[in-house]
Structure 1
Amino acid sequence: MAVSKDIRQQLALLARSRGTRGSISTQKMPCKWSPLGITQPGTSFPFTDDSAWTYVADAIDAGCEIATIALDNPPGKIGYVMLLASANTTPIYVKLQLLSGRVLGRSFHYSEYTVWTEPTQKTEC
């Protein structure tokens, strides 16, 4: 399912502000937000939390493919997933969740997948 322009704008806008973004892992909403373990493309430096969020927001604004998935935790909620280019051949797996006026970073780590298998069949951007 295609992500609407409105959702894309919300995700990018919320991701750009420290006051409306976060990544706190709980038992009900586990997160694997690990930007410090990933080298920024075009540099030899790891992402910081701020630069990871900027990279995600820039990718959304640039039109990167976003897939929707049903989250296991919490059940029935929607996750927004992207595969982004990294400094090596393994893409960065990003999963976001919209909350009330906030965006939660659920995943930012090297992907176990190199291409979409569900639902879009597209490679990373």
Structure 2
Amino acid sequence: MLLLTQDLRARLIANAAAHHEAMQRGLREPDPAPVVKFFNPCGAATWLFSELDADGDTLFGLCDLGFGCPELGSASLTEIAAVTLPLGLTIERDLCFEGRFPLTVYADAARLIGRITEKEARLEAAAAARANELPSP
């Protein structure tokens, strides 16, 4: 399976460029919704990515290898694509995934329950808690 279409790649690169520009200008870092979800069809590993560096390989997002401690970080697209699983399976892209909340909301919810979730109630609760913590602009 093709993990990244041209459209997904362009969206991920645009998010990375916006992040880089904000850092260069001393502005608040953007918090985009994840663009793509990868998963292990044989196990618990799941990744939600929001950025792709200019090198075309380094992805940034929420990584959950299924050990109960999801975290924000970077991963190599090349390494993820090279994973071979039993029965000749590989890491897959969730064709139905659509990020509805900022990446930090997914990260907050995942830390609370120990895994990435797409449950609307969990994500809404994490979004509300985050909104109550952030100072007004």
TM-score under structure 1 length normalisation: 0.31
More strand per residue = 1
More helix per residue = 2
TM-score under structure 2 length normalisation: 0.29
